[in-house]
């Protein structure tokens, strides 16, 4: 088993400014994000939101089985951040920075151009554990603040960092397969519109160019 590059057993909050642990301060971005998430979810009225809908959405049926991939997103985020925190600090910094950039962009858009989607089914065709879980998610996660999709944004950021990490190609392929299904799952469980998914692409491009500007400069791209 690989040995962690940092001994976190000796960590205390008093040592947060020490070079050995300073990268952990980036996790504070999640606190800021959840504050803005609470604000956008509770203080922007639905009637002020713009409905996000496309003809593609009407061609995609609701399928509760995609909830498995949708929820695997949470595991992928925690696993990736934890793995890099233990074994590759540079990758950890880049991934968390990527996430923060997408959060800033998305939250700014949510405030300037509030969005809402009306894709959720009124009733589920089947009654099973997945549809019951889906109903639970619908209950606490409002259909506002959807464009661009952070579900897609985080996923592509994770894929980008793993692609550049020194590991077996088969692992990278498997991660990208999972990411693909996570991204399309957002549409099949009716949490996001096709437009939300597409809108995440330029957001991710900005994050990619900022996070990896040093690498692109080395390749002759001036940023």
Alpha-helical runs (H) found in 113-168 = 129-140, 150-164
Q: What is the pLDDT of residue 221?
A: 54
pLDDT at 219: 59
Q: What is the pLDDT of residue 42?
A: 87
Whether omega before 148 lies within 30 degrees of 0, making that bond cis, reads yes
**H-state helical runs in 44-141:** 55-59, 67-87, 89-112, 129-140
CA atoms within 13 A on the CB side of 141: 16
Question: What is the phi/psi pair of residue 178, to 5°?
Answer: -60, -45
Q: Give every residue of the chain whose pLDDT is below 50, as ranges.
A: 223
pLDDT value of position 48: 93
The whole-number pLDDT of residue 73 equals 97
Residue 218: predicted pLDDT: 61
pTM: 0.94
Phi and psi torsions of 7, nearest 5° = -90, 95
């Amino acid at each position: 088993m690989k040995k962690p590059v940092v001994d976190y057993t000796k960590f205390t909050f008093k040592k947060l400014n020490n070079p050995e642990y300073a990268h952990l301060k980036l996790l504070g971005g999640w606190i800021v994000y959840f504050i803005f998430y609470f604000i956008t979810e509770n203080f922007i009225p639905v009637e002020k939101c713009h409905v996000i809908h496309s003809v593609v959405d009407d061609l995609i049926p609701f399928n509760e089985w995609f909830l498995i991939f949708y929820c695997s997103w949470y595991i992928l985020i925690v696993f990736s951040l934890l793995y890099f925190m233990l074994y590759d600090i540079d990758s950890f910094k880049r991934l968390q920075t990527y996430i923060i950039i997408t959060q800033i962009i998305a939250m700014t858009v949510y405030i300037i151009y509030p969005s809402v989607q009306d894709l959720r089914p009124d009733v589920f065709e089947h009654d099973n554990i997945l549809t019951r879980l889906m109903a639970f998610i619908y209950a606490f996660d409002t259909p506002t603040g959807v464009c661009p999709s952070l579900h897609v944004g985080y996923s592509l950021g994770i894929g980008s960092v793993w692609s550049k990490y020194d590991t077996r190609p088969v692992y990278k392929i498997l991660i990208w397969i999972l990411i693909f299904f996570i991204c399309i799952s957002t549409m099949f469980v009716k949490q996001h519109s096709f437009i939300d998914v597409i809108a995440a692409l330029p957001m991710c491009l900005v994050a990619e160019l900022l996070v990896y500007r040093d690498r692109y400069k080395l390749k002759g791209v001036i940023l």
